[in-house]
Chains A and B, each alone.
Chain A
Amino acid sequence: MRYGETGFNLEIDLSRGNIERVETDPRLTELHLGGLGTNAKILWDRVPPETEPFSPDNLLIFGTGLLVGTPAPGANRTIVSTFSPQTLLMAYSMMGGFWAPELKYAGYDKVIIRGKSPNLVYLWINNDKVEIRDASHLQGKGAGETAELIRQELKEPKAQVAAIGLAGENRVYMASIEQGRSSASRQGIGAVMGDKGIKAIAVRGTKDVNIARPAEFIELCNEVMKYIQVRSEKPVPGVMPILAGLGSPAEMALFDEEWHTQNFMWGNARERRRDFWNKEIEEKWKETQKSVRTRLISCYNCPMKCGATISVPGISTYMMKCFSKLTYTMAAFSDLDFGFRIAQRATEYGVDGFSTPQVMAFGLELYEAGILTDQDMAGMPSDNEGRFYWLLDKIVRREGIGDVLANGVYWAARQIGKGAEAYDHNTIKKHEQLPLKLGMLNPVYFLMYSTGEKINITQIEGQFPQAPFPTKEEREDFVKDWIQVPDEKFKQYLLDWELRGENSNPYYPTVEMSCEIVDWQETMHYVDDALGMCAGLSSFPLKPPYHIHNYPTLISSGTGIDMDEAGLWQIAKRNRTLLRAINVRRGLRRADEKPPEDHWKKRFPELEAKLLDEYYKLKGWDNQGIPTKESLHELGMDYVSEDLEQRGIIKNEQG
């Protein structure tokens, strides 16, 4: 019997209309756990590096994490992996919600999609019965609308549906896959789904997920539940409200937006408004939020309330989570009411709430600068908010200038030319980033921004405070119950970290410490992404319920796989290295590993080079960021080094 996982994947070939249920190799679970780890293994094995994202040979994998469907609170994530039209590298966007556990109960760990359907279709997975069904009547429908229509036509209100909107159908590079209150938004995976001709995947399952050592496993789950309760009553003092508690930032619950509105940049990641927040705005925005927010909601088997049902009078109800509340508002220099309104349309179209507003603000900046002309913008309304709606419609329909902007800031800037490249100032590896522009280089963040395979800081960071606490007392207080540290030395790093003076950024934490801190943060994310655990209960917040000390027993009692801390660390390293190898094989090199020029005002080229050198060394990579033969051997991945050698990547560049 298989525990935690079902032991079966669904292989769907859309070109041939073929469906197969394939048993998986349990050895791969021991090596990679599941979720992102085994997704990466499949992509390495089956998608050669010359494969274009919009090729029928590209795979689109919906993978559940190893613990999804078990009673472990928060284990509910779907990890969608493919090759991104935006970055041309491996994309792994993830979503919470209710879809992944339903797939497990239907009896599958992953849905692996290859080929292309000539007509728009959707998949209906109902336990052992799997169908490819016509979706021509759903063409152009919103993502949420599609889910409702499918549930109705299947007469299965309990089916969980992941769907794309118009943006995905039109292969817009920032198209998302939406699933009720959750979405897999980054890196254009919705465009790949649209390219394959799948409008949606509906799932219903009524089978069991088995646990290897039940008594031990449930005791740990009970402890986690209790810890969540205790931790929720004890917010971390001295940090901004959204970082004080658990969960993904509780944007739907909180009203205080002083920190975001005054520290994040407005427009095209351009302007900081240090005096924006005041009593009047606070009252007004609070009123707006309260009037549209029907209920605070969660994902499957999680007590947090990171999302909300939003009902703006006159427009369809939708569900929102996290920061999309402010991305449109701030890109347009508008207010919260506008943010909630346009986000409804954007969610139905199925677009990434991070990239899309930036792309629109970028377009308007080019227009102000005279690079885009009245001819390019023919028909655009004159009012500010109206322009954003207009641009959104143009982008998702790929009409006129929208067809260019639909490729994201990086590609659009190069297509437009005439100096537009200079306005692409907030991308890393061709992908839009959080709109943050800061003063002093932070060495830990420098490394995460530069090297993160996720190319999205919020899903790389966590665990270690973002900034030093001003006083010694606060630091001592913080480390008192900091049980999550993998090693006591991290407490000392924090105790000695100061706002000013010798022990402050950029030279403290030192290069060595910075590498170790990043290694820890990353490791926890890679563990979560393989287990399907929400980062909001684990790798993202300070002092989370899951950590390196309780995970090994949770995994071994849940799945029957022998596990200790060193073993788990090794698996995370293996998965991290495999992702790196996949991207290296597609051309990623050191030169690509840099934050935007203006991310920090104060930059330190020598220090930055040293940080990269040491980080690569710690990871077992050469100074180009290519995994070495030795480190691949140590991780049991000689097949990777053989391939990289054959392609001349290891030999030429490491020799």
Chain B
Amino acid sequence: MSKVKKKIKTIKIDVDKCNGCRACEVICSAFHANPKYSSNNPERSRIRMIREPLKDVYLPVYAGEYAPAECMGRDKYVIDGKEYDECGLCKASCPSRTLFKEPDSGLPLKCDMCEDDPPQEKPLCVQWCINDALIYEEREEEVEEEEEKGKLEDVEIGLESMVDKYGLQKVIDTVARMSQKG
């Protein structure tokens, strides 16, 4: 197998610099609105601040993979004497919580590094964090070339979660009904 160069995109999160303002949530939800910036709602954001001001817990977490089932354990972390709530450090959109789901449809959300159309130079959350708690970094790494595995497109991820929630037959029926109407 041959080696190929791959661009690795990272957001370095410096929690010490966070002032807890949630601008990252604001701009994320606005950017991903359709049409762009036409509405704003932190509940739709793909980055969420886990905040407990009196305990000095400020934790920006990015939406990761959709998980159809809860995981086996709900871990609690204690770092520097601060306890992070169970699921606090987790990025998954999963049934155990409302985080990272569209509030009306329940569909999972996932951070796309603002690689939307047109692609942004840096994710918007980074651009709006002028306190530099969020820093964008890029590097190139050589990786083994992989066969393009069936990468799930957005629609498929959404449908998969609907199937998990309502069952395959119900989704098929609904799509069929909608296409007849169309």
* Residues of A near any B CB (own CB < 8 A): 69-71, 73, 98, 105, 144, 148, 157, 180-181, 206-211, 214-215, 217-218, 225, 228-229, 294-305, 309, 311, 316-319
The smallest beta-carbon distance between A316 and chain B, in angstroms, is: 8
Q: A71-B27, A214-B36 are in contact. Are A302 and B130 (CB under 8 A)?
A: no
Checking A148, A214, A296, A319 against B37 with a beta-carbon cut-off of 8 angstroms, the contacting residue is A214
Which residues of chain A come closer than 8 Å to B53, judged between CB atoms?
180-181, 297, 309, 319
The smallest beta-carbon distance between B108 and chain A, in angstroms, is: 16
Q: Say whether B38 contacts A303, CB under 8 Å.
A: no
Q: Say whether A214 contacts B38, CB under 8 Å.
A: yes
Q: Which of A208, A294, A317, A318 has the most chain B CB atoms inside 10 A of its CB?
A: A208
The smallest beta-carbon distance between A100 and chain B, in angstroms, is: 13
Q: A210-B39, A218-B30 are in contact. Are A305 and B56 (CB under 8 A)?
A: no
Q: A180-B53, A295-B56 are in contact. Are A207 and B103 (CB under 8 A)?
A: yes
A207 and B58 CA atoms in complex are apart in Å by: 23
**Chain B residue with the shortest CB-CB distance to A127:** B103
- Asked if B35 is at the interface of the complex by the 8 Å CB criterion, the answer is yes
Q: A181-B53, A214-B35 are in contact. Are A298 and B41 (CB under 8 A)?
A: no
- Asked if B43 is at the interface of the complex by the 8 Å CB criterion, the answer is yes
Secondary structure call for the A interface: loop
Which residues of chain B come closer than 8 Å to A294, judged between CB atoms?
56
Q: Say whether B130 contacts A229, CB under 8 Å.
A: yes
Which residues of chain A come closer than 8 Å to B127, judged between CB atoms?
225
The smallest beta-carbon distance between B79 and chain A, in angstroms, is: 15
Q: A105-B43, A301-B21 are in contact. Are A71 and B30 (CB under 8 A)?
A: yes
A207 and B104 CA atoms in complex are apart in Å by: 9
Q: A207-B41, A225-B130, A229-B130 are in contact. Are A302 and B36 (CB under 8 A)?
A: no
The smallest beta-carbon distance between B179 and chain A, in angstroms, is: 28
**Chain A residue with the shortest CB-CB distance to B39:** A208
Q: Say whether A301 contacts B103, CB under 8 Å.
A: no
Q: A301-B26, A303-B23 are in contact. Are A211 and B40 (CB under 8 A)?
A: yes
**Chain B residue with the shortest CB-CB distance to A212:** B38
Which residues of chain A come closer than 8 Å to B43, judged between CB atoms?
105, 206-207
- Asked if B145 is at the interface of the complex by the 8 Å CB criterion, the answer is no
The smallest beta-carbon distance between B51 and chain A, in angstroms, is: 9
- Asked if B174 is at the interface of the complex by the 8 Å CB criterion, the answer is no
Given contacts A215-B37, A309-B56, A311-B56, 9 further A-B contacts (CB under 8 A): A73-B23, A144-B54, A207-B103, A210-B39, A211-B38, A225-B128, A229-B130, A303-B19, A305-B131
The smallest beta-carbon distance between A2 and chain B, in angstroms, is: 12
- Asked if B42 is at the interface of the complex by the 8 Å CB criterion, the answer is yes
How many interface residues does chain B have, given as a range? 20 to 34
Which residues of chain B come closer than 8 Å to A225, judged between CB atoms?
127-128, 130
Which residues of chain A come closer than 8 Å to B58, judged between CB atoms?
295
7 A-B pairs with the lowest CB-CB distances in the bound complex, closest first: A214-B37, A206-B43, A208-B39, A206-B103, A298-B21, A218-B37, A298-B19
A180 and B21 CA atoms in complex are apart in Å by: 13
Checking A217, A301, A311 against B23 with a beta-carbon cut-off of 8 angstroms, the contacting residue is A301
A317 and B128 CA atoms in complex are apart in Å by: 29
Which residues of chain B come closer than 8 Å to A211, judged between CB atoms?
30, 37-40
Which residues of chain A come closer than 8 Å to B129, judged between CB atoms?
303
Q: A71-B27, A294-B56, A309-B56 are in contact. Are A217 and B39 (CB under 8 A)?
A: no
- Asked if B158 is at the interface of the complex by the 8 Å CB criterion, the answer is no
Checking B42, B54, B131 against A309 with a beta-carbon cut-off of 8 angstroms, the contacting residue is B54
Q: Say whether B21 contacts A299, CB under 8 Å.
A: yes
Q: Say whether A105 contacts B21, CB under 8 Å.
A: no
A207 and B43 CA atoms in complex are apart in Å by: 8
The smallest beta-carbon distance between B56 and chain A, in angstroms, is: 5
Q: Say whether B56 contacts A71, CB under 8 Å.
A: no
Which residues of chain B come closer than 8 Å to A207, judged between CB atoms?
41, 43, 103
Which residues of chain A come closer than 8 Å to B19, judged between CB atoms?
295-298, 303-305
A-B contact pairs, 9 of them (CB 8 A): A70-B40, A105-B42, A206-B41, A206-B43, A207-B43, A208-B40, A214-B37, A302-B21, A303-B21
Q: A157-B52, A225-B128, A319-B53 are in contact. Are A300 and B40 (CB under 8 A)?
A: no
**Chain A residue with the shortest CB-CB distance to B37:** A214
- Asked if B22 is at the interface of the complex by the 8 Å CB criterion, the answer is yes
Which residues of chain A come closer than 8 Å to B40, judged between CB atoms?
69-71, 208-209, 211
Which residues of chain A come closer than 8 Å to B68, judged between CB atoms?
none
